[in-house]
Amino acid sequence: MNLSELLQEEFIELNMQATTKEEGINELSSLLMSKGVLSNEKAFIQAVLMREAECTTGIGMGVAIPHGKSEGVEQGSLCFGRSQKGIGYDSLDGEPVHLLFLIAVPADSNDEHLRILSQISRKIMHTEVRQQLLKAETTADVYAALS
């Protein structure tokens, strides 16, 4: 399954308000919760933040890919958010995050999140993909960049 198939339109937020890592994770988690992907938002957020405590998922180039495996996740999902202002994220390069991909997977799933993480990483290594995502005005623009 490619990224544009996995990322549903209702899981795209092009105008994130968050200014911190925790706010960014909470903002996208709330979106997943509102669409029924999460049964326990608090447990999922805790799983994501525990993962962040091990090592930041702010990989640099304005990108972060937080992810969590939790009993609070009903179905594996991918959420994308963009912040024009930038989010303070403790990224590896020290720069703010503008593109945030949040991966949610059920606790009993195998390595689904690793496959998704790998797909995102390969895609966003290309400068033109990041630029397209930064300039996207619609969800269709996001799909075009990720396809």
Question: What amino acid positions are annotated as catalytic residues?
Answer: 67
Quote the CA–CA distance of 96 and 48 in Å, as a whole number: 19
Q: Which two tokens mark 51?
A: 């993962």
Rounded to 5°, the CA angle 73-78-79 comes to 105
- Residue whose entry in the numeric block shows the structure tokens 């495996």: 69
Quote the CA–CA distance of 73 and 5 in Å, as a whole number: 19
